[in-house]
């Protein structure tokens, strides 16, 4: 199963950090691609740099799309499931087993500004992590965690130039096969 994320909308400057974090969560949790609309090109460069330094778990890439509607329709045409993250949706725990047990590819829609009502209608599932205002970054992480059942926390990132060595008391980073220690 392949999982992609579609980030709809981007309020210039205001959403740069949030969109970057949506990309980082998508990448580190093993998604294959992040489609983005209306985005600052610097974000793509930032993620390309992260991939270069920290490696790849799923050949993660960013693709800038002009038309989010066509992206959704093409996904559905190819048999994929479309999930829209919204606080107005069904609780994630009430629906996630149905999604996990499917072998279909999954497209997860993460909005920025007010999402057009058409997105609700085009989606197979409108899913809420909470029916309260919350962060789209945390909602994405929680939904991906439910789908992957925690397995994404043990991904192997190929061709990494930098790797964190877990430690209780120090920061240990392996850079090109050399260990660098720093106290916390």
pLDDT band with cut points at 50, 70 and 90 for residue 18:
confident
pLDDT tens profile 56-75: 877 888 898 999 999 999 99
**Is the pLDDT score of 181 beyond 80?**
no
pLDDT tens profile 138-160: 999 999 999 999 989 888 888 88
What is the model's pLDDT at position 13?
55
Give the structural domain span for 51: 3-183
> CATH number of the domain that 39 lies in?
3.40.1280.10
Residues 6+ apart with CB under 8 A from 87: 128, 129, 130, 131, 132, 133, 134
pTM for the complete prediction?
0.89
**Is the pLDDT score of 179 beyond 70?**
no
pLDDT tens profile 86-126: 999 999 999 999 998 888 999 999 987 788 999 999 999 99
* β strands within the chain, DSSP E: 3-8, 33-36, 61-64, 81-91, 106-111, 125-128, 162-164, 170-175, 178-183
> What is the Cα–Cα distance from 26 to 60, expressed in whole angstroms?
8
Encoded tokens for 8: 């709809």
What is the model's pLDDT at position 11?
58
Number of domains forming the structure of the chain = 1
């Amino acid at each position: 199963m392949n999982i992609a994320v579609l980030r709809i909308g981007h309020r210039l400057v205001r959403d740069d950090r949030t969109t970057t974090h949506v990309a980082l969560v998508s990448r580190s949790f093993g998604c294959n691609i992040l489609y983005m609309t209306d985005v600052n090109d610097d974000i793509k460069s930032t993620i390309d740099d992260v991939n270069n330094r920290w490696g790849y778990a799923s050949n993660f890439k960013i693709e800038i799309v002009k038309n989010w509607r066509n992206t959704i329709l093409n996904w559905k045409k190819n048999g994929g499931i479309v999930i829209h993250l919204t606080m107005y949706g069904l609780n994630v725990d009430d629906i996630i087993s149905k999604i996990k047990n499917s072998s279909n590819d999954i497209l997860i829609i993460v909005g920025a500004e007010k999402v057009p009502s058409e997105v609700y209608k085009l989606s197979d599932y409108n899913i809420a992590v909470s029916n309260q205002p919350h962060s789209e970054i945390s909602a994405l992480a929680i939904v991906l965690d439910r789908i992957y059942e925690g397995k994404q926390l043990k991904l192997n990132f190929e061709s990494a130039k930098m790797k964190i060595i877990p430690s209780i008391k120090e920061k240990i980073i392996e850079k090109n096969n050399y260990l660098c220690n720093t106290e916390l």
